[in-house]
């Protein structure tokens, strides 16, 4: 095969690829979503399944995505078409790319809404609103914000404009710069919060919740209504844990594939991937260790849903010395983490519009930003005017439904197809050539991608629909 080049440019080094992919992976998923779904799904056992999924499903599929992207060097839709042709497979494989573009739209629409909350909190913390506040005061600020659709629309709009602006500037100028210093700074601040969590007196309770598995909770979902707990059988927590492994590593929708397409040839895919997955997991676990002690120390409910970090962390910032400063910085960095993820959600679609419709990056980003913005309104209303039961389907709000559909169904399905393509349809020589790694490592990847990852995804799906 003759070596392809990408018309969109290339990362300047392996380090920049690692930073950009880590920027994509580390985001609201780690700091906002991981703690709240862990809280909703009972803690330890859920975390264990999630970690297992990262290891046996996430890492092999991430390697496959980067490898396919680097070989195809185009938007995921065109990469899949080109590689399918090259390997003598059906052109229907481009559907993987299409479903990824759709998943990206869906995720970005609500991602931007939540990132808008983080933006709003920058100003609330900086203005000293939480100084000395108790749990009830912090909760009042949260419901005040989420109950006001106009305000939410303003923040959502601002975040969407920020994301479009970076994507419009392109691979080198736009995407690289944002991540170099901000990710390490966020990491440091999480440790500051961890320090506070240790001083709350409930640190051990937090750790137990996160790391002591109670496997009964994986198959029963419990809800406490007016002090009485009721539990029902459900296969869903295992699916949510697997879906989150995909979500947090940005897998199954072409985001990592498109970043792989800008990766220089001759750099190790395996080493970069393992490093990115480790960093991502570490951020999530540290966030969890910081948040749950605050939850328990203040008598809050771990399963209180998407508002969890917004109702817990401000208590810490309100109480710790220098909290106003650290808190402001924390939410600024959270916005940056969300920003560097959001741009990767749009990039597959933008790359395709540039390649196939001849749009400039600026126009392509504008088209995509506006469409997703409109969809985001549905998620905004889920927290206020559409929060009532009459607006729910299967007991879920519009926001919950979108998140469930994209993260727990579309991403794992996309990942499954990517695994099957890379493991079964692609000729061994092709992947050997692209990876250029030690024979035993290649052998391990091949076993995982052909058997372990696809089987795991299928079993979890069957489990969720009640067949296992
Ligand atoms: N990985 C991001 C996070 O954890 O916040 C979210 C995400 C980005 C999901 C890009 C999917 C994606 F393609």
Q: Is residue 48 part of a domain?
A: yes
Q: What is the mean pLDDT of residues 208-232?
A: 79
- Cα separation of 461 and 341, whole Å? 26
For ligand 1, say whether the CB of 248 is within 6 Å of any of its atoms: yes
Q: Is residue 468 part of a domain?
A: no
Q: Is 194 helix (H, G, I), strand (E, B) or coil?
A: helix
For ligand 1, say whether the CB of 29 is within 6 Å of any of its atoms: yes
The number of folded domains in the chain is: 1
Among 9-18, 74-83, 167-176, 209-218, the range with the most confident prediction by mean pLDDT is 74-83
Which pLDDT does position 176 carry in this prediction? 65
Which pLDDT does position 181 carry in this prediction? 74
For ligand 1, say whether the CB of 414 is within 6 Å of any of its atoms: no
Question: Ligand 1, atom 10: nearest CA belongs to which residue?
Answer: 250
pLDDT band, residue 394 (cuts 50/70/90): confident
Say which residues have a Cβ less than 8 Å from residue 376's Cβ, sequence separation at least 6. Answer: 108, 109, 110, 112, 113, 156, 160
Q: What is the atom index within ligand 1 of the atom nearest the CA of 247?
A: 9
- Cα separation of 62 and 249, whole Å? 8
Of 310 and 226, the structure prediction assigns the larger pLDDT to 310
Q: What is the mean pLDDT of residues 167-195?
A: 78
Which pLDDT does position 95 carry in this prediction? 96
The string of pLDDT tens digits covering residues 332-385 is 989 989 998 999 999 999 999 999 999 999 999 999 999 999 999 999 999 999
Of 114 and 3, the structure prediction assigns the larger pLDDT to 114
Is 60 exceeded by the pLDDT of residue 233?
A: no
- Cα separation of 229 and 258, whole Å? 46
- Cα separation of 243 and 287, whole Å? 19
Of 60 and 12, the structure prediction assigns the larger pLDDT to 60
- Give the global pTM: 0.94
The string of pLDDT tens digits covering residues 277-319 is 999 999 999 999 999 999 999 999 999 899 999 999 999 999 9
Which pLDDT does position 19 carry in this prediction? 87
For ligand 1, say whether the CB of 247 is within 6 Å of any of its atoms: yes
Q: Is residue 40 part of a domain?
A: yes
Residue range of the domain that includes 289: 14-376
- What Rg do the C-alpha atoms of the chain give, in angstroms? 21
Task: List the CATH number of the domain containing 305.
Answer: 1.20.1740
Q: Is residue 464 part of a domain?
A: no
Residue of 341, 349, 405, 407 best suited for mutating to test ligand 1, as the one with most atoms within 8 Å of CB = 341
CA dihedral 424, 244, 171, 271 (to 10 degrees): -60
Which pLDDT does position 43 carry in this prediction? 94
- Cα separation of 318 and 271, whole Å? 41
Q: Is 396 helix (H, G, I), strand (E, B) or coil?
A: strand
Q: Is residue 459 part of a domain?
A: no
Is 80 exceeded by the pLDDT of residue 232?
A: no
- Cα separation of 129 and 111, whole Å? 25
Is 80 exceeded by the pLDDT of residue 69?
A: yes
Spell out a b/e string for 174-209, using b for 16 or more CB atoms within 10 Å of the CB, else e: bbbebbeebbeebbebbebbbebbeebebbeebbeb
The string of pLDDT tens digits covering residues 86-126 is 999 999 999 999 999 999 999 999 999 999 999 999 999 99
Q: Check if the beta carbon of residue 43 is closer than 8 Å to that of residue 214.
A: yes
Q: Check if the beta carbon of residue 337 is closer than 8 Å to that of residue 26.
A: yes
The string of pLDDT tens digits covering residues 144-157 is 999 999 999 999 99
What mean pLDDT is reported for the chain?
Answer: 92
Quote the ligand 1 centre to 107 CA distance (angstroms).
8
For ligand 1, say whether the CB of 163 is within 6 Å of any of its atoms: no
Of 48 and 224, the structure prediction assigns the larger pLDDT to 48
Residue of 271, 280, 288, 278 lying closest to 248 (CA atoms): 280
Quote the ligand 1 centre to 287 CA distance (angstroms).
16
Q: What is the mean pLDDT of residues 210-217?
A: 89
- Cα separation of 108 and 380, whole Å? 13
399 C-beta neighbours (distance < 10 Å), count: 22
Q: Is residue 388 part of a domain?
A: no
For ligand 1, say whether the CB of 430 is within 6 Å of any of its atoms: no
Q: Check if the beta carbon of residue 334 is closer than 8 Å to that of residue 215.
A: no
């Amino acid at each position: 095969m003759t070596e392809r080049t990408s018309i969109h440019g290339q990362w300047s080094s392996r380090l920049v690829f690692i930073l950009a992919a880590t920027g994509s992976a580390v985001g609201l998923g780690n700091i906002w979503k991981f703690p709240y779904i862990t809280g909703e799904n009972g803690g330890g056992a859920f975390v264990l399944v999630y970690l297992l999924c990262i290891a046996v499903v996430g890492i092999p599929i991430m390697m496959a995505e980067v490898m396919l992207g680097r070989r195809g060097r185009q938007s995921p839709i065109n990469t899949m078409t080109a590689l399918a042709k090259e390997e003598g497979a059906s052109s229907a494989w481009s559907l993987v790319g299409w479903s990824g573009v759709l998943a990206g739209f869906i995720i970005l629409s609500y991602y931007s809404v939540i990132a808008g909350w983080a933006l709003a909190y920058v100003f609330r913390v900086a203005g000293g609103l939480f100084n000395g506040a108790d749990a009830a005061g912090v909760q009042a600020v949260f419901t005040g914000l989420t109950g006001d659709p106009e305000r939410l629309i303003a923040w959502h709009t601002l975040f969407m404009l920020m994301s479009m602006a970076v994507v419009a500037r392109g691979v080198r100028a736009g995407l690289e710069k944002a991540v170099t210093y901000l990710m390490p700074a966020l990491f440091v601040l999480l440790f500051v919060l961890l320090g506070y969590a240790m001083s709350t007196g409930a640190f051990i309770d937090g750790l137990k919740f996160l790391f002591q598995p109670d496997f009964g909770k994986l198959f029963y979902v419990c809800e406490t209504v007016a002090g009485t707990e009721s539990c029902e059988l459900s296969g869903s927590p295992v699916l949510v844990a697997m879906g989150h492994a995909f979500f947090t590593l940005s897998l199954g929708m072409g985001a990592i594939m498109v970043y792989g397409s800008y990766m220089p040839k001759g750099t190790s895919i395996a080493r970069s991937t393992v490093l990115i997955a480790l960093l991502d997991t570490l951020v999530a676990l540290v966030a969890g260790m910081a948040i749950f002690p605050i939850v328990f120390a203040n008598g809050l409910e771990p399963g209180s849903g998407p508002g969890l970090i917004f109702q817990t962390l401000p208590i810490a910032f309100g109480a710790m010395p220098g909290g106003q400063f650290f808190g402001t910085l924390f939410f600024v960095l959270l916005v940056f983490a969300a920003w560097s993820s959001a741009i990767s959600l749009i990039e597959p679609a933008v790359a395709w519009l540039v390649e196939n419709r001849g749009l400039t990056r600026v126009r392509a980003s504008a088209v995509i930003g506006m469409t997703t913005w409109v969809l985001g309104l549905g998620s905004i209303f889920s927290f206020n005017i559409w929060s009532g039961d009459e607006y729910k389907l299967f007991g879920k709000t519009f926001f919950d439904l979108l998140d469930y559909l994209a993260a727990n169904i579309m991403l794992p399905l996309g990942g499954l197809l990517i695994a099957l393509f890379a493991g079964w349809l692609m000729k061994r020589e092709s992947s050997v050539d692209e990876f250029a790694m030690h024979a035993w490592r290649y052998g391990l990847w091949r076993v995982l991608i052909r058997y372990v990852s696809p089987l795991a995804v299928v079993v979890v799906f069957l489990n969720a629909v009640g067949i296992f």
